[in-house]
C-alpha cells in the first residue's frame, strides 16, 4: 500500500469571459480550507420487476458546491466579489478602489473558474459564483468565507502557482463604529454575512448534466458582534426597533470598508456567567433597505483586475 501524502494544494481563480467556459488561473489564492465538490444527483432505478435490488443508475442533475475559508487578503477577495451579486465600479490607478453595490439581479454578471490541485490531482470547476459570503475576525485576523455554487467540472493540466505577497489584516487594524462616526472599543467578536440564496438551475439539454446557470433569491444581510455591557442604551434601541448605521473599517490603503446604512437589532442577549464575571452582550443586526442598500463594501487594493 502506498503511503499517504500530506497536504499539498494549489487554488487558482480566473474570471470567465464566457460563463461556464474554463479559464486557466490568473490569481492564486492562499487558503485555509475548502470543501468544493462535484454533486451528482444519481437516480437509482428500482422498478418492480421480480427483484428487490437496485437495477441500475441513471444520471441526474449535477453541480459544484462548497465553502472556501481564507484570509481576507485585499488582492484576492475582489475576484470573488466580481462573481457575487454586486455591481463593481473601479476607480484609481494603483491603488485601485473597488466600490461594490448590491443589486437585485437574478443571475450573476460574471462567473469564475476555480482550479484546485489536491495532492497532484487537478480539479477544474466552471461557472462558479458566490452564493453567500462572510467576513469575520478570528483571533485578531480578518477572514473571508465564500460559499461557492458552480455549473460543472472540466479537465485541465496542473498550473504553476505564483503566490501573492500581501499581508493579512490582524489585531490593531479595526475601526468599528456603532452608530457610524462613533467608534466603539468594547467589541471582540464580529461577523458580517451576506446570503443571496444562490442555487443551481437545471434545464433539459443534451450538453451534459451540469447546471445551466446559477440564480439568486431573496437576500439576507446580518451582522453580529459581542461586546461589553455597561448600559441599557443599545438594549433600548433593540426594543424600539431603531435603525442605526454601522461602519467597519479595516486598514486603510490597502483595506476594506463595510457598511450597513440602516441596521436594526434582531437579537440582543445578556447573560450572567457567574459571580463577578464580566457581563457581555451578544447582538445581531439585520440589514434593511431603509437607506438605499442593505450593505456596502469597498476594497482598496493594489490589484488591477478588470
The residues of the chain scoring below 70 in pLDDT are 1-8
**In contact, 254 and 166? CB cutoff 8 Å:** yes
Give the pLDDT confidence of 99-134 residue by residue, as tens digits.
999 999 999 999 999 999 999 999 999 999 999 999
Q: Which of 232, 254, 262 is nearest to 303 (CA)?
A: 254
Q: How far apart are the first and last CA of the chain?
A: 48
Per-residue pLDDT tens for 145-159?
999 999 999 988 899
pLDDT at 19: 93
Q: Are 265 and 284 in contact (CB under 8 A)?
A: yes
**pTM metric for this prediction:** 0.94
Identify the sign of the CA torsion 268, 274, 275, 277. Answer: negative
Q: What pLDDT is stored for residue 1 in this prediction?
A: 47
The domain ranges of the chain are 9-39+61-158+172-301
Tell me what the pLDDT averaged over the chain comes to.
Answer: 94
Q: Where are the alpha helices (DSSP H) in the chain?
A: 77-82, 233-240
Would you say the C-alpha torsion 265, 188, 301, 163 has a positive or negative sign? negative
Q: How far apart are CA 297 and CA 86, in angstroms?
A: 9
Amino acid at each position: 500500500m502506498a503511503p499517504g501524502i500530506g497536504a499539498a494544494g494549489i487554488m487558482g481563480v480566473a474570471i470567465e469571459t464566457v460563463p461556464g467556459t474554463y479559464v486557466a488561473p490568473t490569481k492564486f489564492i492562499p487558503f485555509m480550507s475548502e470543501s468544493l465538490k462535484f454533486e451528482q444527483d444519481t437516480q437509482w432505478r428500482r422498478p418492480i420487476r421480480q427483484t428487490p435490488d437496485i437495477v441500475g443508475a441513471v444520471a441526474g442533475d449535477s453541480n459544484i458546491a462548497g465553502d472556501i475559508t481564507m484570509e481576507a487578503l485585499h488582492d484576492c477577495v475582489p475576484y470573488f466579489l466580481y462573481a457575487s451579486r454586486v455591481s463593481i465600479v473601479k476607480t484609481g490607478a494603483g491603488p485601485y478602489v473597488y466600490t461594490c453595490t448590491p443589486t437585485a439581479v437574478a443571475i450573476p454578471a460574471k462567473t469564475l473558474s476555480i482550479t484546485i490541485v489536491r495532492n497532484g490531482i487537478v480539479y477544474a470547476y466552471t461557472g462558479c459564483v458566490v452564493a453567500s459570503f462572510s467576513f469575520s475576525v478570528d483571533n485578531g485576523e480578518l477572514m473571508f468565507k465564500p460559499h461557492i455554487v458552480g455549473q460543472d467540472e472540466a479537465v485541465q493540466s496542473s498550473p504553476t502557482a505564483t503566490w501573492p505577497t500581501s499581508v493579512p489584516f490582524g489585531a490593531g487594524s479595526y475601526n468599528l463604529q456603532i452608530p457610524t462616526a462613533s467608534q466603539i472599543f468594547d467589541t471582540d467578536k464580529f461577523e458580517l454575512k451576506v446570503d443571496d440564496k444562490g442555487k443551481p438551475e437545471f434545464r433539459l439539454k443534451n450538453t451534459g448534466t451540469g447546471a445551466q446557470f446559477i440564480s439568486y433569491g431573496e437576500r439576507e444581510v446580518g451582522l453580529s458582534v459581542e461586546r461589553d455591557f455597561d448600559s441599557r442604551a443599545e438594549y433600548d434601541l433593540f426594543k424600539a426597533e431603531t435603525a442605526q448605521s454601522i461602519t467597519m473599517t479595516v486598514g486603510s490603503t490597502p483595506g476594506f470598508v463595510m457598511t450597513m446604512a440602516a441596521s436594526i437589532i434582531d437579537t440582543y442577549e445578556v447573560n450572567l456567567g457567574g459571580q463577578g464575571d464580566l457581563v457581555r452582550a451578544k447582538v445581531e443586526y439585520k440589514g434593511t433597505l431603509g437607506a438605499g442598500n442593505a450593505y456596502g463594501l469597498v476594497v482598496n487594493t493594489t490589484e488591477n483586475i478588470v
